[in-house]
Amino acid sequence: MTPPPVEESVLALPAPRLRHEDEDRAADRTRVHRARRGRRRWLLLWLLIGPGILAMLGENDGPSMISYTTTGATYGIGAFLPFTLLTFAMAIVCQEMSMRIGAVTHRGYGQLVLERFGRVWGWFNAGDLVLTNLVTLVAEFVSIRIGLAYFHLSSWVAAALGVTLVLFTISGGRYWRWERIVLGMAVFNGLFLVAAILSHPNWGKVGHAFVTASPFPGGTLSTLLLLVASTIGATVTPWMIFFQQSASADKGLTPDDLSHGRYDTIAGGVLAAVFGCGAMIAGAALATRGGAGINGLAGAGFPGAFSHVLGGGVATIFALGLIEAGAVAILTISASTGYAAGECIGAPHSMNYSARGAAIFYAANVGAAAIAAAIILIPGAPLLSIALNANVLATVLLPVALVFMIMLASDRQLMGRFANGRRHNWVGGAIVVFVAASGTAYAIDAFLRTVHLI
């Protein structure tokens, strides 16, 4: 018997059933298509922004803002303001690559590493991320705990608030809904800029610090290396790479959306830089008005220090800012954990799935937050030390993630004409070397001090 032609065999097969995820993403893309066809530029921008701003403002988290404030309180502004701008420029370069890979390949970072470099490196990257995320999530809950403590609320409230926010935002089974809720919360990262303005700094000196190449201040080498490493870890981290690439794919970005994805990333970097510098400027008021150094602030906390030096208004704003910074970071970092788990296991990993359809994704999302919430309930935790060293850990573990990202972005078989050029790779390579050198210097110094060789 002669087999039927291929065309008839194909037509005889039932059409594949569209999944809930496919239908939702198609509806989102239809709105984008209509806005682009109607040349409604502002609506198109509104529809396409999200992952870049969330990655950047999510990284303006509790540990980062505490790190910036500690730097200001310890050294004033000086060299650290332009240095902070440099680190955000590095973040924009890295996150643009992450966004571009997600939009072109429609796959997350963890999935691509697994496919292109094998299971060993794929699982290593996932383990790297989970470790960093758990430590960072603990620091985020610490940030909320510090903020709520100013209003005389307990650590139990901080733990419950963080986990409840995660459950609430993912309950809709829709990426668009999750993204807009978190974006609305991220706006309040601007409270740190308000705190800076209310601290009445000398704006002439602030402007001079931005345009003058001041040397790094004196003090102990270990403290300086800690603050340099934590400042880098406050702007570029492994979870941001996982999150923005996966979120860009989950949002349904395509190569046609790359220019808007870049606007989104740059806008997020600029906003995060302004708000981060605001925290540093506010902290500088403590250095010049009787504030203490790192050890002195670890006990009372920054809100209490601001209340003593600048009054209750600034303290309240700063405390609310810490709560916002920790909450937004918990949502984005937990999401990156869920994406990584789903991508490495090969299970569904999208906000557009229901909890039943993507059980591993949602379980990792909520589970990471729940574990961190439980850890902060342990009494006697060194709050500021945890917050600062979370950023340092991110700096130490970041170079491996950056190397794989640059290799993916440079792969012409994968990226086609959207692959990195030679200049882009040189800049990316310089960032890897700088981050690795900073993390290694701090690690060596800490080790030598631990064994009492220095």
Per-residue confidence (pLDDT) for residue 451, from 0 to 100 = 63
Give the mean pLDDT of 342-363.
85
> Per-residue pLDDT averaged across 383-395, rounded?
70
Domain 56-450: homologous superfamily in CATH: Amino acid/polyamine transporter I (1.20.1740.10)
Q: How confident is the model at residue 198 (pLDDT cuts 50, 70, 90)?
A: very high
Average pLDDT in the 131-149 region?
Answer: 88
3-class SS letters over the chain: CCCCCHHHHHHHCCCCCCCHHHHHHHHHHHHHHHHHHCCCHHHHHHHHCCHHHHHHHHHCCHHHHHHHHHHHHHHCCCCHHHHHHHHHHHHHHHHHHHHHHHHHHCCCHHHHHHHHHCHHHHHHHHHHHHHHHHHHHHHHHHHHHHHHHHCCCCHHHHHHHHHHHHHHHHCCCCHHHHHHHHHHHHHHHHHHHHHHHHCCCCHHHHHHHHHCCCCCCCCCHHHHHHHHHHHHHCCCCHHHHHHHHHHHHHHCCCHHHHHHHHHHHHHHHHHHHHHHHHHHHHHHHHHHCCCCCHHHHHHHCHHHHHHHHCCHHHHHHHHHHHHHHHHHHHHHHHHHHHHHHHHHHCCCCCCCCCCCCCHHHHHHHHHHHHHHHHHHCCCCCCHHHHHHHHHHHHHHHHHHHHHHHHHHHHCHHHHHHHCCCHHHHHHHHHHHHHHHHHHHHHHHHHHHHHCCCC
pLDDT at position 303? 85
Tens-digit pLDDT profile for residues 277-298: 999 999 888 876 554 444 444 4
Report whether pLDDT(394) > 90.
no
Q: Is 157 or 398 the better-scoring residue by pLDDT? A: 157
| Average pLDDT over the chain, rounded to an integer | 83
- pLDDT tens per residue, range 236-258: 888 899 899 999 988 888 899 99
Lowest mean pLDDT among 297-306, 368-377, 387-396: 297-306
| Averaged pLDDT for residues 329-357 | 87
